[in-house]
Homo-oligomer: A and B are copies of this chain.
Amino acid sequence: MPDLDPEEFRRLGHRFVDWVADYRAGLGELSVRAAVEPGWVRGQLAADLPEHPRPLEELLAEVDRVVVPASTHWQHPGFFGYFPANASLTSLLGDLLSGGLGTQGMLWSTSPACTEVEQVLLDGLAGALGLGKEYTFDGGGGGSIQDSASSAALVALLAALHRTSGGTWRETGTDGRERVYVTAETHSCMAKAVRVTGLGAQALQVVDPAPGSLAMSPDALAAAMAADTAAGLRPVLVCPTIGTTGTGAVDPVREIAQVSRAHGAWVHVDAAWAGVAALCPEFRDLLDGVELADSFCTDAHKWLLTAFDASMLWVRDGAALPAALSITPEYLRNAASESGEVVDYRDWQVPLGRRFRALKLWTVIHGLGLEGLRAHIRGHVALASELAARVRADPRFTLATPPSLALVCLRVLGRDDALDDRADDQATRAVLERVNASGSALLTHTVVDGRYVIRVAIGSVGTQPRHVEALWTALREAADAVRRGP
Contacts and interface: CB of A to CB of B under 8 A. Distances in A.
A242 interface: no
A246 interface: yes
Contact of A93 (B12, B88, B367, B373): B12
A330 interface: yes
A87 B72 contact: no
Contact of A113 (B41, B110, B120): B41
A380 to B, nearest CB: 11
Contacts of A172: 176, 200, 202
A101 B113 contact: no
Contacts of A81: 110
A306 to B, nearest CB: 10
A328 B192 CA distance: 10
Interface string A347-375: 00011111100010011011111111101
Interface string A151-171: 100100010010000000111
Contacts of A375: 2
A330 B185 CA distance: 10
A394 interface: no
A161 B94 CA distance: 40
Given A49-B128, A172-B200, A196-B158, A461 B41 contact: no
A466 to B, nearest CB: 12
A85 interface: yes
Given A3-B88, A93-B13, A67 B331 contact: no
B59 A3 contact: no
Interface string A82-124: 1001111111111111011111100011111111110111011
Given A38-B339, A461-B3, A327 B192 contact: yes
A278 interface: no
A350 B154 contact: yes
Interface stretch (A286-294, A412-420, A444-452): A444-452
Given A113-B71, A198-B197, A355-B308, A63 B97 contact: yes
Contact of A112 (B34, B95, B192): B34
A483 interface: no
A24 interface: yes
B71 A114 contact: yes
Interface in A164-214: 169-176, 187-189, 191-192, 195-203
A282 interface: no
5 smallest CB-CB distances across A and B, nearest first, come from A198-B198, A87-B102, A173-B200, A20-B100, A13-B17
12 contacts: A6-B22, A7-B21, A16-B93, A23-B101, A42-B119, A51-B370, A53-B367, A53-B369, A54-B366, A63-B97, A169-B200, A171-B202
